[in-house]
Amino acid sequence: MKKGKSQKNNVIVSPFRKDDENDANDSDQQMEDMNYPGSIITSNGKYKIYCLTIIGEVEGHNYSCDDVKTTKYECVIPQLIAVEQDPKIDGMLILLNTMGGDVEAGLALAEIISGMAKPSVSVVIGGGHSIGVPLAVAANKSFIAKSASMMLHPVRMNSGNLGIPQTFQYFQRMQNRITNFVCENSHIKPKRFKKLVTNTEELSADIGSVLDGDEAVNEGIIDYVGTISDAFRCLYSMIDKKPKKPSKTKNKSKNTTSQKRSAKTKRNSR
């Protein structure tokens, strides 16, 4: 069987292991694999929580500049899959301080987070700008620090573009994807979100709006203004309400007892 491969240059660690001879060892190894730079697993509290940080620029299909701190989506996706499949992880806390980045990479991460069954809470602690907005609302519940901010602006590209109607239509469709995701995962209406995105009276060198913590909550994008402790309390409450699965040990003992009883009944009938 092949074991998980690791690539040191991009800090990519695959959490998947196909060796099923010892489930406990496999799970422990998977827990180790999930501890890559930018994440941590807390196990000293009430529950075991996976903490993921999304910082700097969300790097997509192309490499960013060497002097820019990035969150590599090809590193984060395997971690999210591992968290979802690991029974030892009870929930996930996402900390955001990002300037934005690649639209499709950010949306891909946001879609995975929003589709996870594990309880999740996000906290915007510095900035949740641009594509950081969908990432913030992707969690089940979202918080923002009072001093944090979020910038909303239209989709833009750094490369050369053709000045033709098809280019405008492509940008419009891409913006609609972001708008639909944000509005489906928050309480803001599409009409209001588009108005904030196309605001021409606030930014001097761009189109859009900057919202501080209170404004982001009042607009319905973020659920609460709060800190890390508030986020943990919310996450613990969500885990408490989640139905508990019966343990394998109890099921195994029950099956063994029922098998013994049936065997004893057969012997007596004979």
Q: Which residues are catalytic?
A: 130, 153
Q: In angstroms, rounded to a whole number, what is the distance separating the alpha carbons of residues 122 and 216?
A: 14
Rounded Cα gap, residues 39 and 42, in angstroms: 10
Quickly list H helices, 210-247. Answer: 213-218, 228-241
The separation between CA 206 and the C-alpha centre of its own chain, rounded to angstroms, equals 28
Query: Is the C-alpha dihedral spanning 84, 61, 96, 112 positive or negative?
Result: negative
The identity of residue 66, as a single letter, is D
CA distances from 152 to 27, 60, 104, 127, 194 (A): 40, 19, 16, 11, 9
Would the CA dihedral through 226, 229, 235, 236 be positive or negative? negative
Tokens 């980045």 sit on residue: 101
Is residue 130 a contact partner of residue 149, using CB atoms and an 8 Å limit? no
Is residue 119 classed as helix, strand or coil in its secondary structure? coil
Q: How many CB atoms lie within 10 A of CB 216?
A: 27
Contacts for 152 with CB less than 8 Å, ≥ 6 apart:
130, 133, 193, 196, 197, 208, 209, 210, 211
- Nearest-angstrom CA–CA distance, 82 and 85: 5
Tens digit of each residue's pLDDT, the chain (270 residues): 444 444 444 433 444 444 444 554 555 555 555 555 667 787 777 899 999 999 888 877 766 667 777 778 788 899 999 999 999 999 999 999 998 888 888 899 999 999 999 999 999 998 999 999 999 999 999 999 999 999 998 877 666 666 677 777 877 888 899 999 999 999 999 999 999 998 988 877 778 899 999 999 999 999 999 999 999 999 999 999 887 766 554 455 555 555 555 555 555 555
CB 122 within 8 A of CB 136: yes
This prediction has a pTM of 0.75
Could you tell me the two tokens for 57?
């620029």
How many other C-beta atoms can be found within 10 angstroms of the C-beta atom of residue 69? 13
Query: Taking CA 238 as the corner, what is the angle to CA 233 and CA 243, rounded to the nearest 5 degrees?
Result: 145
DSSP 223: S
Tokens 């906290």 belong to: 123
Q: Which domains does the chain have, with CATH numbers?
A: 6-269 (3.90.226.10)
Q: What are phi and psi of 105, to 5 degrees?
A: -65, -45
